[in-house]
Amino acid sequence: MSYNLLKGKKGIIFGALDEKSIAWRTALHCHEEGAQLVLSNAPVALRMGEINKLAETVNAPVVGADVTNMDDLKKLFEQSMTHFNGGVDFVLHSIGMSLNVRKGKSYTELDYGFNQKTLDISSMSLHRVLRTAWDMDALNEWGSVVALTFIAAQRVFPDYSEMADAKALLESVSRSFGYHYGIRKKVRVNTISQSPTRTTAGSGVKGFDGFISYAEHMSPLGNASGDQCANYCVALFSDLTRMVTMQNLFHDGGFSTTGVTEAVVKQMEK
């Protein structure tokens, strides 16, 4: 069901790899709500070709950009503004990558070269995106920027490894840049802390199956799905949330404030 919440709005969506991606689900929901979109992902991801299916469905151009490359980002914003014939109203940063997790290096034996790359792709990329928009004055007044994060930024989830530090930095960048962009142009910047979700990035974490089931049993409402996360993104891009900024917003069925549930206690008694 559409409420036309994003009628007339224009947005850039980073990170739709395949139909499970949170960015993919969000692009579909934004389109349904009347937004015009530009889709972006790393050139290597575009080579998979999947994104073209999404592009056709939501009638959006695809512009490749490695988020660690300032020239790519500048070109992306230039092309987007030409396509939209004006500024950008919202941006979804749905990007994450841990080189150490990928290479099987545990938290106590991090490779610092990989670690720098992880932080650049997963965290400082939000700064790079906001800085590019800032320098080009690309975001419209009352624009909205959302990045996706995970509760491992606040609490220890051992197998999440260096991504916990990456998410803590991402949330900090969101607050810090949110301050400056709020003052300059009433642009809001927030992070959504999402339940574990079966996607390519999510499933890369060791023990993911056990963890997703644990989170399901530890959340009074159960885990939030990718489509439900997409709806929350739509709400944050809409004019109904204009005064929400510099927040880390939990979208996790109550997981973050639950100590224990009967379901988990019963399991422990077995």
List residues near ligand NAD by CB under 6 A: 15, 17, 21-23, 41-42, 45, 66-68, 94-97, 121, 148-150, 194, 196-197, 199-202
CB-nearer residue toward ligand NAD: 40 or 140: 40
What is the nearest approach in angstroms of ligand NAD to the Cβ of residue 81? 19
What is the nearest approach in angstroms of ligand NAD to the Cβ of residue 24? 7
Contacts of residue 116, defined as CB under 8 A and 6 or more positions apart, other chains included, come to none
What is the nearest approach in angstroms of ligand NAD to the Cβ of residue 97? 4
Segments in the chain forming alpha helices (H): 22-32, 43-46, 51-58, 70-84, 99-102, 112-119, 125-136, 162-185, 200-203, 208-217, 226-237, 262-269
- Under 8 Å between Cβ of 252 and 219: yes
Residue nearest ligand NAD, Cβ-based: 202
- Under 8 Å between Cβ of 15 and 50: no
CB-nearer residue toward ligand NAD: 29 or 140: 29
What is the nearest approach in angstroms of ligand NAD to the Cβ of residue 126? 10
- Under 8 Å between Cβ of 121 and 67: yes
Site of tokens 């609490």: 155
CB-nearer residue toward ligand NAD: 185 or 216: 216
CB-nearer residue toward ligand NAD: 175 or 186: 175
